[in-house]
């Protein structure tokens, strides 16, 4: 049994997702304004976590700003969608204009199946139910790039 009630667990999860967004956004920021906005997201995440934590706000902010672990290798999903006739759904990519199956990076705390369904919806407008896992591949060893 979790020592947290449902609201506390939800607040912790939301704060961690905001912290991750701010950390990654700050890491990839292209100008000082983006850095400032992402640091504000991180401070807000610390304030939110402070509502359910015993540590003081200054300690939480230090912890968030010193966190280098959040920027990690990206978990990416690709979703093979077949219609009743066995045809594979393809979409034309906007970056290189090649044809591909829908896919993209998972969000923090997002399960791969949910990420796969979300990417299909975002990239094609179709709502799908993920039913099977085909495999897990490491792009360093499969000759692909993301």
Q: Name the DSSP letter for residue 109.
A: T
Tokens for 58? Answer: 């200054």
In 10 A of CB 31, how many CB atoms? 7
User: Are 128 and 82 contacting, i.e. CB atoms less than 8 angstroms apart?
Assistant: no
> How far is 85 from 124, CA to CA, in rounded Å?
19
| Predicted local distance difference test score (pLDDT) of residue 87 | 97
Q: Where are the domains of the chain?
A: 6-66, 76-142
pLDDT for 82 equals 96
pLDDT at res. 1: 44
pLDDT confidence of residue 143: 66
Please name the CATH architecture into which domain 76-142 falls. Answer: Alpha-Beta Complex (3.90)
Q: What is the pLDDT of residue 104?
A: 92
Walk along the chain (146 residues) and give the pLDDT tens digit of each residue: 455 568 998 999 899 899 989 988 998 899 999 999 999 999 999 999 999 999 999 999 998 888 765 556 678 899 999 999 999 999 999 888 999 999 998 987 889 999 999 999 999 999 999 999 998 887 766 666 55
- pLDDT confidence of residue 27: 87
| pLDDT value of residue 137 | 81
């Amino acid at each position: 049994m979790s020592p947290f009630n449902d609201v506390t667990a939800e607040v912790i999860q939301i704060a961690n997702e905001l912290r991750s967004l701010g950390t990654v956004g700050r890491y990839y920021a292209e100008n000082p304004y983006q850095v400032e906005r992402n640091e504000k997201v991180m401070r807000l995440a610390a304030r939110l976590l402070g509502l359910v934590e015993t540590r003081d706000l200054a300690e939480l902010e230090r912890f968030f700003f010193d966190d280098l672990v959040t920027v990690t290798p990206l978990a990416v999903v690709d979703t093979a969608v077949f219609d009743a006739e066995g045809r594979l759904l393809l979409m034309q990519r906007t970056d290189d204009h090649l044809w591909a199956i829908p896919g993209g990076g998972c969000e923090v705390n997002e399960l791969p199946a949910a990420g796969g369904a979300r990417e299909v919806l975002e990239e094609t407008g179709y709502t799908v139910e993920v039913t099977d896992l085909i495999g897990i591949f490491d792009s360093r060893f499969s000759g692909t790039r993301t």
